[in-house]
Amino acid sequence: MGFDYKSITVILIAINVIISLIGFSNRDFMRKLIMWPYGVKRQQQYYRMVSSGFLHADYIHLFFNMFTLYFFGTNLEFIFSQLHLGSEAAYLLLYFMALVVSDLPSYLKHQNDSGYQSLGASGAVSAVVFAVILFNPWGAIYIYGAIKISALVYAVLYIIYCVYMGKQGTDHINHDAHLWGAVFGLLFAIVLVAFMNPGAFQFILDQLKNPSLFGR
């Protein structure tokens, strides 16, 4: 039986919620799955690059990541299906590769820091968001549910914010994962189009021809 275009996103959200809820009440479980570069290097615990992406710090962190994943993820599933870009397989490949790729900068930076840990699906979610932006650059995005801007403007501001905050390093948020997840999602989508349906580049160019600063 095949999946409908929303089912993969819903399954990913369900897994995130279940694992996060277990982690909220079981600190030993969270310690075993959280991204810990020091342990990855010394104990070859590479699974942490994936498992940590299904943990969240609290209910707010979980809600915003899953809220974003639902709306952008279902859109991306539909786009991959309609443009013949690998459908569910391509979507899952993007998601899980983004979990690993978005953690690599943190691993390289903190592999000798025994106290550093990180968690959350934000790297993969950022990849999904930026893949969607490639295909709908002038779609409307509402920041904080109130400020309406186009997706492309949001993407530029998001990159600038991640770079700036990553250099500041003062808020205990892994901005490097956000940044590299976003970059990976965009590049993955471009490569996917090039290999699976080059004709879709015309669709992307057509979208860019009708700019809208505040989105449509």
Q: Would you say residue 2 lies in a domain?
A: no
Q: Quote the pLDDT of residue 211.
A: 85
The span from the CA of 103 to the CA of 126, in Å, is 13
Q: Would you say residue 67 lies in a domain?
A: yes
Q: Of all helices (H) and strands (E), which one includes residue 89?
A: helix 87-110
Q: Which domain holds residue 184?
A: 7-208
Q: Would you say residue 174 lies in a domain?
A: yes
Residue from 2, 170, 5 nearest 82 by CA: 5
Q: Would you say residue 215 lies in a domain?
A: no
Q: Would you say residue 52 lies in a domain?
A: yes
| Predicted TM-score (pTM) of this structure | 0.91
Instruction: Using the Cα atoms of residue 53, residue 54, residue 57 and residue 62 in order, give the sign of their dihedral.
Output: positive
Residue 77 in this model has a pLDDT that exceeds 80: yes
Domain count, the chain: 1
Q: Would you say residue 201 lies in a domain?
A: yes
Q: Would you say residue 158 lies in a domain?
A: yes
CATH number of the domain encompassing residue 104 = 1.20.1540.10
Average pLDDT, the chain: 90
DSSP state of 166: H
Dump pLDDT digits (tens) for 20-69. Answer: 999 999 999 999 999 999 999 999 999 999 999 999 999 999 999 999 99
Q: Quote the pLDDT of residue 170.
A: 61
Dump pLDDT digits (tens) for 123-145. Answer: 999 999 999 999 999 988 887 66
The span from the CA of 143 to the CA of 151, in Å, is 10
Q: Would you say residue 130 lies in a domain?
A: yes
The residue ranking higher by pLDDT, 51 or 87, is: 51
